Amino acid sequence: MKEQSVVFVWENFGPAHRDRCEAAALLLPPPWIVKGIELANKSISYDWDSSEEVAFEKITLFHGRSIAEVPILQRTWATLRACWGMRPAAYFFCHYEQPATFICAMILRLCGYRVFVMNDSKFDDYQRYFFREMIKRIFYSPYQGALASGSRARDYMRFLGVAVSKIQLNYDVLSVERIRRLGRSAPAPQGLGHKERHFTIIARFVPKKNIVMALEAYSLYRKSVASPRSLHLCGSGQLEADLRRKVDELDLGGSVVFHGFVQAEGICHILASTLALLLPSIEEQFGHVVIEAQAMGLPVILSHNCGACDLLVRSGVNGFVIEPDNPQGMAFFMSLLCADEELWRKMCLATRSFVAQGDVRLFVEAVASLLGVSVSMSGASVRAGA
């Protein structure tokens, strides 16, 4: 049987991308082999370490710079040449909006190869404009199917012209096994005791993450309980100086811990001592950190804007869903989880039934469905990042 490639193309390979490719390499049956194309080893948005060894074939097109620093024609030629060299193949592209991606996908489609798009955007992410959306439909035209993160992302893809029968969910997933292994602790409510845990935010320090509101909520929470927990911030970005000033303004010094940008292993360690994850974003296509928190058994307090709400969170069951302009509501739920250990334990246990919905195995099933092949999950251990 002739070998055939399934090629995943991303701007930069962070932990989630490695998880997905390694799981697909392990679980997709012959003749399929998995290959990855990383456009650049420097991310535009994150300080990921993309130099780690991976259990699949990966090539990096541009070293020492982000893809934004590469001219469009050079990027297009390099991407097309790399994809062409991996034939015969089926191709899965992210970043559909980039001209280089569109040109490569169109050429491959015209040459008879199968091309699919991967995206987690939702219609409600921000204000939409008719003519801009019509142009997006053109950029979606090469693709024969799609991987979406959840129901809202699927509906948006359908609006952009992808047949609903050709859309599979569970694009945004992670290796639960990897997270728990790196966390070096049993998922909550096991591990560290309820009284010893803190609140955690893991996000870039940019406006859409709404961390200023979270600090206001944290200040209200501290005034409502006798023994408030600390708040740990994991991230970096343009607003760091503003956030530090906000901490001083609210007189939260000593209670808020800035960790800076934290790599995957450090994130898992911090989550192992966390009471609940906070994610109050104004705009959030999905929120991979919700999967990481749930893998460690934690409830989450997040805004309804987060795409993870579609599949992973039920308010009052394994977390609380809030409005992104409601610090009083966030503070109330923080106080509940802080004061009521029984409620916290109940939510931790409820989280277990949602963990599988964020696991990387579902990504492999979705890819296999688009490829028209069957894949067996029984007896296989997905040890992504091992």
DSSP class per residue in 224-280: H-SSPPPEEEE--STTHHHHHHHHHHTT-TTTEEEEES--HHHHHHHHTTEEEEEE-
In contact, 199 and 218? CB cutoff 8 Å: yes
Cα-flanking dihedrals φ and ψ of residue 279, to 5°?
Answer: -145, 85
Q: Which domains does the chain have, with CATH numbers?
A: 4-173+360-371 (3.40.50.2000), 176-357 (3.40.50.2000)
- 3-class state of residue 198 by DSSP: strand
7: Cβ contacts below 8 Å, ≥ 6 apart: 35, 36, 37, 83, 86, 89, 90, 91, 92
pTM, two decimals, is 0.93
CA distance 11 to 255: 37
* 335, burial (CB in 10 Å: exposed 0-12, middle 13-18, buried 19+): middle
pLDDT at 355: 97
Q: Which amino acid is at 336?
A: L
CA distance 323 to 293: 20
pLDDT at 382: 44
Maximum separation of any 2 CA atoms in the chain, in Å = 68
CA distance 377 to 347: 28
CA distance 176 to 359: 6
* 72, burial (CB in 10 Å: exposed 0-12, middle 13-18, buried 19+): exposed
pLDDT at 383: 44
pLDDT at 205: 97
Take residue 257 and report the two structure tokens written for it.
């811990």
Q: Which residues of the chain have pLDDT under 50?
A: 379-386
pLDDT at 378: 57
Burial 15-53 (b: 16+ CB within 10 A, else e): bbbbbbbbbbbbbbeeebbbbbbbbbbbbeebebebeee
Q: Listing from the earlier edge strand, what are the strands of the sheet with 32-40?
A: 57-62, 32-40, 4-10, 89-93, 114-119, 145-148, 167-168
pLDDT at 294: 98
Q: Listing from the earlier edge strand, what are the strands of the sheet with 274-279?
A: 256-260, 231-234, 198-202, 274-279, 300-303, 319-322
Alpha helices in the chain (DSSP H): 15-27, 72-84, 99-110, 130-140, 151-159, 176-183, 211-224, 240-249, 264-271, 288-295, 309-312, 327-339, 341-355, 361-371
Continuous segment of H or E residues that includes residue 199: strand 198-202
